[in-house]
Chain A
Amino acid sequence: MPETSNVVRVSGVTKSFTLGKIEVQALKGVDLEIARGEYLSIMGPSGSGKSTLFNMIGGLDKPSSGKVFIDEVDIAQLDAYELAWLRCRKIGYIFQTFNIIQVMTALENVTLPMVFAGMNSDATVKKGLRLLEQVGLADRHSHKPFELSGGQQQRVAIARALANDPAIILADEPTGNLDLTTGEEIISLLKRLSQEHRVTVISATHDIKMLNVSDRVVWIRDGRIDKIENREELSISIGKIRVRD
């Protein structure tokens, strides 16, 4: 197997939505290659198409044209079962609104993907508790989401995303609903876990704090990739942004 293969490859992806008679082009041709184990941030102003791109990569939506390859497999070719399998085993999702299932406890939320993967219940509980411990919520496993703060809910979501040892974690503005310090904690947690679990993290954000931990940043503007910067080049542009603010 070629070691250099990309875990995600986006090729000429466009996406348009029709709102009544108006056609909105959210993505206008995006090409992107993401290497294994990379921590990639997608930055851009509101409405630039980050979430749309995120949904394409995660197999949650289909491009209008172009292709998305996960591990060089065109995900448009997958049937419903394969897609569910991919979402369950290989991709972990983290959302801005946490999307913890309200009727389940923290532990049940974390174990749900494992249940869908067909693990037996003793194993799921054991692993679920271990994951909750890793995100610092060992003593909160029997709490319901409404008893947890936003930051804690996002930790549960991170534990849940790691449940089936995915190859990719997709995070759409994971810190968007959190305050500054909590956001920072979540970011460093994501970074630490991505290294420990050797997963590729792709995160859409407009949180500047995210840049410090990213290996690469994709700047997206108006449905197109504006520029891609490696970590070394970053400090310069961050400086500029800081000055601009």
Chain B
Amino acid sequence: MAQERIFSDYPQKTARGNRLVVLPFGTSLEIAFKSIKVRFFRVLITTLSLVLAVSFLSFVDVSNDIANGMLASGDPDLRQSLVRAGYDLGPQDVNVASTPKQRWIIILSLLVCVVGIVNAQLMAVTERFREIGTMKCLGALDRFVLRLFLLEAGMQGMVGAACGAIAGTLFALAGALARFGAEAVQQVGLTDLAVSFAWATATGVVLSLLGVLYPAWVAARMQPVEAMRVEQ
């Protein structure tokens, strides 16, 4: 039997896209999911700062939702209790918005959170040098490594941010219950709550992706031989 030439079965397509092995999205997702599962504790710590920042964001948002609900009810007692609670309401105001100070603190906390994620993810990349290098030796393309990290961060962000948003919402509701009573809390619009939740979760996912962008790029650009050199 004559041996085959090595490049004889190389896919001869002119368009670059056709030559690529397109790894099914589901497979990437599965690998990313497993990766998270195995490193659960580490992922938990990476995500914790995100949970805190998002829960703060959602706390502020939902508190405002509740205040708006109380104002919208038109009940002068509720309006009065808001003013007593320190809301700066003019006689004509029909809604409350977050104060510049609140916004400033939120932005700051989100910023700190992103820096924390970048830091943790860079460490994760260093830890996984050997794994990434091995995958590249087995034929993984840069874009697969990039996609793996983005998927992991996306999933982490989704779960972490949702948890944070739920926690923030619950805290805000409990706080309002203690301060204004059950009647006040009942005035809150459910759509407002849903919008706040979605907004906080989306912000969290975006932050998580933002934080992993640079580390993922570092991982993807790594040469396989570098990974082999790193001592265990």
Contact = CB atoms under 8 A, between A and B. Distances in A.
Interface string B1-33: 011111101110000100111110001000000
Nearest to B35: A103
B34 interface: yes
A196 to B, nearest CB: 14
A86 B137 CA distance: 10
A55 B225 contact: yes
Contacts of B2: 1, 3
Contact of B7 (A73, A84, A118, A198): A73
Contacts of A58: 137
B131 interface: yes
Interface string B126-164: 000011011111111110100000000000000000000
A66 interface: no
B16, B38, B134, B135 — most chain A CB neighbours (10 Å): B134
A167 interface: yes
Interface residues of B, number: 38
A238 interface: no
B139 A87 contact: yes
B193 interface: no
Given A3-B2, A7-B6, A95 B138 contact: no
A101 B6 CA distance: 27
B232 interface: yes
Contact of A167 (B6, B142, B232): B6
Given A81-B19, A116-B140, A117-B21, A101 B10 contact: no
A82 B10 contact: yes
Contact of B23 (A55, A70, A115): A115
Contacts of A99: 130, 133-134, 137, 228
B223 interface: yes
Contacts of A97: 130, 232
A116 B134 contact: no
B116 interface: no
B101 interface: no
A167 B130 CA distance: 24
A84 B131 contact: no
Contacts of A87: 136-139, 224
Contacts of B27: 115, 121
Contacts of B139: 84-85, 87-89, 113, 116-117
A160 interface: yes
A232 to B, nearest CB: 24
A71 B7 contact: yes
Given A102-B131, A103-B38, A160-B138, A61 B225 contact: yes
Contacts of B34: 103-104, 108
Contacts of B19: 81-82, 85
Contacts of A108: 34
A97 B10 CA distance: 31
Contacts of B5: 1, 71
Contact of B137 (A93, A115, A121): A93
A227 B16 CA distance: 43
Interface of B: 2-7, 9-11, 16, 19-23, 27, 34-35, 38-39, 130-131, 133-142, 144, 223-225, 228, 232
28 contacts: A3-B3, A60-B137, A71-B7, A73-B6, A81-B16, A81-B19, A84-B139, A84-B140, A85-B10, A85-B11, A85-B21, A86-B6, A87-B224, A88-B21, A88-B138, A90-B6, A93-B138, A99-B133, A99-B137, A102-B131, A103-B35, A115-B23, A116-B21, A116-B144, A117-B21, A118-B21, A118-B22, A167-B3
Instruction: Sort A-B residue pairs by CB-CB distance and give the 4 closest, nearest first.
Output: A88-B139, A71-B6, A103-B38, A118-B21
Interface of A: 1, 3, 7, 36-37, 55, 58, 60-61, 70-71, 73, 80-82, 84-90, 93, 95, 97, 99, 101-104, 108, 112-113, 115-118, 121, 160, 167, 198
